[in-house]
Amino acid sequence: MAEKRAHIDDPTALYQLSQESGSLRISLHGRLDARNTAQNWPRLQQQLAGIPASKVDVDATGVEYCDGSGLALLQFLGMGGMTPGATVSVRGLKPEFQKLFESFTPDDYQKFRPRPPPKGHLAEDVGLGVVTALRDVRDQIAFLGAVSTAFVATIGNPRRMRWREVFHVFELAGVNALPIVSLISLLVGLIIAFEAAQPLAQFGAQIFIANMIGLLMVRELGPMMTAIMLAGRSGSAFAAELGTMKVNEELNALETMGLDPVRFLVVQRITAGILLAPLLTIYSMFMGVVGGVIVMLGLGFPLVAIYNQMLTGVSLHDIIVGSTKGIAFGIIVAAVGCLRGLQTKKGPSAVGESTTRAVVSSILLIILADAGFAVVLYFLHS
């Protein structure tokens, strides 16, 4: 008779294997809790893989404690999961454990065990992707129609606008964003000025750093950086807030009371986005220019010379272009955040997924809109 014994970290928890005349006996001892079961399971399965047996006797007389993981191990042994083709019997469990063991059948195991994900086909995956994209486009068109209708109704009757909510969102998404906008815009201006200083010094043209900073921050980086920060900070907050309300069925409660969620929640956030985005954009332009001016002052240029050089490179038209971009980007960030929040599905990860989709979609649409502005302004010679 051959006997094998395997020890784990806890010396009171072990198993013994004994084999005689084609019959295998597995004696379990100690505590079959989550930690010990996880350590014993693969070792036991590895040893049983090399032992041929037609009959297996699992003796659980020495088991002092058995939780769900231990019962799963016993059930797996009793099903012949480690000894295919053998007749398996499990005996010796204490009465309190035996009752739990009998309540979990092999059919339950087959029904509830994790299934490998089905393998998809390329054509099927492409078709599902196209259908999902078309449904998303349909939802976007319906959302734009609902928002437009709500805005028209609000313009016709301004008292229907919840201005207190607009100012509250304006404060949370705009005023509270000033520190991060200040820091990032100032650093971007500093970086651009430092990066341009050395190459322009080779041509004795460092004074043109002022032109570069003015044009880049006013027409391009100021609006775009502000919009991206709003997308990550405020757009995601809109999506998370509305998504949580949908998961908690608060939106259904509003509809039950006869209130349209778009008019009651979305219009206020888009209005706040339209108001705060251009203001934050102008502030970002200013902070970026300040960063460039700090570098130029450090290079020895007087403030008057920097100011006069910027006046030659930046005009009121450039400020209007940057502010217009800010308004468009603000609408995109607020609308996409609200749309993704209303599209939130059920489940524990639904709100996080909606938040991620809001940020990614907003940034993508911001880049596309900026590219559209660039093309239109080029052909308009603006």
| Predicted pLDDT at 260 | 83
69 and 150, same domain (yes or no): no
| Predicted pLDDT at 114 | 58
| Predicted pLDDT at 345 | 85
175 and 225, same domain (yes or no): yes
Q: Is residue 171 part of a domain?
A: yes
Q: Is residue 55 part of a domain?
A: yes
Q: Which of 28, 23, 71 has the alpha carbon at shortest distance from 51?
A: 23
Taken in order 208, 326, 180, 365, the sign of the CA dihedral is negative
Residue 116 has pLDDT above 80, yes or no: no
| Predicted pLDDT at 331 | 93
Q: Please, what is the end-to-end C-alpha distance for the chain in angstroms?
A: 94
79 and 224, same domain (yes or no): no
Average pLDDT over every residue of 245-264: 86
Average pLDDT over every residue of 320-331: 94
Residue 339 has pLDDT above 80, yes or no: yes
169 and 104, same domain (yes or no): no
| Predicted pLDDT at 165 | 85
DSSP per residue, 117-168: PPPPPHHHHHHHHHHHHHHHHHHHHHHHHHHHHHHHHHHH-GGGS-HHHHHH
Look up residue 30 and give its two tokens: 């100690």
pLDDT band at residue 362 using 50, 70 and 90 as cut-offs: very high
Residue 8 has pLDDT above 60, yes or no: no
197 and 74, same domain (yes or no): no
pLDDT band at residue 249 using 50, 70 and 90 as cut-offs: confident
Residue found by looking up tokens 């020895």 in the block: 300
Q: Is residue 120 part of a domain?
A: no
Final residue of a domain: which of 112, 139, 162? Answer: 112
What is the CA angle 165-222-307, rounded to 5? Answer: 120
Looking at per-residue pLDDT, the higher value among 42 and 230 belongs to: 230
98 and 180, same domain (yes or no): no
- Residues 71 and 97: beta-carbon distance below 8 Å: yes
> What's the predicted TM-score (pTM) here?
0.67
94 and 184, same domain (yes or no): no
Average pLDDT over every residue of 32-48: 82
Looking at per-residue pLDDT, the higher value among 50 and 153 belongs to: 153
What average pLDDT is seen over the chain? 84
| Predicted pLDDT at 160 | 78
Residue 134 has pLDDT above 70, yes or no: yes
Task: State percent of the chain over pLDDT 70.
Answer: 92
| Predicted pLDDT at 9 | 38
Q: What is the CATH number of the domain that holds 55?
A: 3.30.750.24
| Predicted pLDDT at 184 | 93
Q: Is residue 122 part of a domain?
A: no
Its domain, for residue 21, covers 2-112
Looking at per-residue pLDDT, the higher value among 157 and 214 belongs to: 214
At 40 the three-state DSSP class reads: helix
100 and 170, same domain (yes or no): no
pLDDT band at residue 313 using 50, 70 and 90 as cut-offs: confident
Q: Is residue 106 part of a domain?
A: yes
